[in-house]
Amino acid sequence: MSRFGFFFAALLTVWPLQLSALTVNNLNRALVPVADHSNAQLQRATRAGFSQVLVKMSGSHDVLRNPTVDAALGQAQRYMQRYQYIREPDDSLRLQVHFDTQLVSELLRSAQAPLWTANRPPLLIWLVVEDANGRHTATRESNPLLIDALTADLERRGVPAVFPLYDLQDTVAVSVHDLWRQDALTVSRASQRYGTANVLMGRMTELAQDRWMGDWVYLYDSTSTATSFYGQEPSSFSLEAVDFVADRMAARYAVAAGDDMGSQILIRVDDLADYSDYRAVLTYFEQIELVDAAWPAYLEGESVVFRLRAQADAEQLHRIVALNRRLERQLEPDPLQHGPLNTALAYRWSQ
């Protein structure tokens, strides 16, 4: 389903304009520190890893308080696919464990818990740091420990992220002073070149005795939410930021299966010029985790009506489909001559 071999490779790659969504790999994978290869450590790490994956796939720590999920945590090995031990360069040991994606999805559905599909919108991160060298934008070259911490925490929550180029176009559009003031309007305008709807601004200051303080502002559409931080390590600053923004993104994009789910939904797509367009749309629908099956129900000219059996209602499904920029929603499409008059959703396929 994805063009990317590893999730963290996507985190530090700057993508072209008009980014809409990325397919996140390894939502079913967790990395957990262990002391040794003992069975006791294996069982503890498997449960901890299962908790990580449940949070990553649902989008919220709240899932761990669900009674059905809590009972399943005691049987974490039942959901495990494979595991291996990894010796890190600093000689620490970690367990890398993969869980069965289908079984985890079925568990979340049976618990009527949210499911955040692997098709996720990227997060654009602007970050400025004030330290002994003054104020500067944070990059892998200037602040490697902070960027490494952000990368690890973003993977832990399954949030694909991109970082600005900080090239001439960026420096003309937004200055370090603008970032430090957290000028939402200026940063939003500068972010348009990256085509991302989700933007995170951060600023942090190094105080005396290796203490840090900072602020994060999450921008989406015309809204903003903020949080502050005070602590000892930049990694804590990263941890709080990622949990802060991941919770808010998941609240927007995750879908909870309800008792009335599993119904069939008719979706019309216009401007399908040839078979390759039709095949691309059908394949896209089939790859949405909440869609159990998709097939063509009616064909007329360059319009196809697809029938989807989905674990979501029409508007919930639209929140996912809207991430695909090639599918432009039509609220009042021209009626088909002989096909269904009322489809739940209608789109125009753009080339």
Domain ranges of the chain: 26-115, 119-255, 264-349
Confirm if 270 and 330 have CB atoms less than 8 A apart: yes
> Which pLDDT value is given to residue 5?
30
- pLDDT value at 174 more than 90: yes
Q: pLDDT band for 258, please (50, 70, 90 cuts).
A: low
Closest CA to 299 of 316, 324, 282, 322: 282
CA-to-CA separations, 70 to 2, 61, 76, 113, in angstroms, rounded? 31, 12, 10, 12
- pLDDT value at 22 more than 90: no
Cα angle 273-279-285, degrees, rounded to a multiple of 5: 115
Class of domain 119-255: alpha beta
- pLDDT value at 196 more than 70: yes
Q: What's the mean pLDDT when you consider all of the chain?
A: 89
Q: pLDDT band for 257, please (50, 70, 90 cuts).
A: low
The pairing of strands 264-270 and 345-349 is parallel
Q: Which residues of 274-306 are buried (b: 16+ CB within 10 A; e: fewer)?
A: eeebbeebbebbeebbbbeebeebbeeeebbbb
Amino acid identity at 337: Q
> Of 206-210, 212-216, 302-306, 324-328, which range is least confident?
206-210
Confirm if 28 and 100 have CB atoms less than 8 A apart: yes
Q: pLDDT band for 10, please (50, 70, 90 cuts).
A: very low
> Which pLDDT value is given to residue 14?
36
- Find the mean pLDDT for residues 78-101: 96
| 3-class SS string, the chain | CCCCCCHHHHHCCCCCCCCCCEECCCCCEEEEEECCCCHHHHHHHHHHHHHHHHHHHHCCHHHHHCHHHHHHHCCHHHHEEEEEEEECCCCCEEEEEEECHHHHHHHHHHCCCEECCCEECCEEEEEEEEECCEEEECCCCCCHHHHHHHHHHHHHHCCCEECCCCCHHHHHHCCHHHHHHCCHHHHHHHHHHHCCCEEEEEEEEECHHHCEEEEEEEEECCEEEEEEEEECCHHHHHHHHHHHHHHHHHHHHCEECCCCCCCEEEEEEECCCCHHHHHHHHHHHHHCCCEEEEEEEEEECCEEEEEEEECCCHHHHHHHHCCCCCEEECCCCCCCCCCCCCCCEEEEECC
Label residue 164 left, alpha or beta by phi (over 0 means left) and psi (-120 to 50 means alpha): beta
> Which pLDDT value is given to residue 15?
37
- pLDDT value at 19 more than 70: no
125-170: pLDDT as tens digits: 999 999 888 999 999 999 998 999 999 999 999 999 999 999 999 9
